[in-house]
């Protein structure tokens, strides 16, 4: 698999209704190398984004919501005053899919703006 972060941010999530296997450990390792700072925990990936204040945190949360709506792939988010933890998994398959990494790359791109 020769995918780059640029490739991930240019991709669109594909509908996942189940019936396909989650990514293998090898596939997950390749994708993890392409997204900075995301942690693998069991069957999901997560990252904490720091901010200076609540307003910036909420602006980020709203931007993530917009990306999630466009991709039709939604993370769990834990929001506090100056940080937001974003967690992705593909519930329909009980593990990680390429969609999780596409969205993670797009969220990283948002944070870098």
Confidence of residue 20 (pLDDT cuts 50, 70, 90): confident
Q: Going by C-beta distance under 8 Å and a sequence separation of 6 or more, which residues neighbour residue 89?
A: 43, 44, 45, 95, 96, 100
CATH class of 22-111: alpha beta
- Please determine, for residue 32, whether its predicted confidence score (pLDDT) is greater than 50: yes
The secondary element (H helix, E strand) that includes residue 26 is: helix 25-32
pTM higher than 0.85 for the full model? yes
Taking each helix axis from N to C terminus, what angle separates 54-71 and 98-111, rounded to the nearest 10 degrees?
Answer: 140
What value does the mean pLDDT take over residues 43-48?
97
Q: Where are the domains of the chain?
A: 22-111
């Amino acid at each position: 698999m020769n995918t780059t972060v640029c490739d991930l941010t240019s991709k669109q999530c594909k509908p996942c209704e189940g019936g396909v296997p989650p990514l293998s450990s090898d596939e997950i390792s390749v994708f993890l190398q392409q997204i900075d700072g995301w942690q693998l925990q069991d069957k999901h990936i997560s990252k904490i984004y720091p901010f200076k204040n609540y307003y910036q945190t909420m602006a980020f949360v709203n931007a993530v919501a917009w990306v999630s709506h466009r991709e039709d792939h939604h993370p769990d988010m834990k929001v506090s005053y100056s940080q937001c933890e974003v967690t992705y998994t593909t519930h329909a398959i009980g593990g990680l899919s390429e969609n999780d990494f596409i969205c993670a790359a797009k969220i990283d791109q948002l944070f870098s703006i």
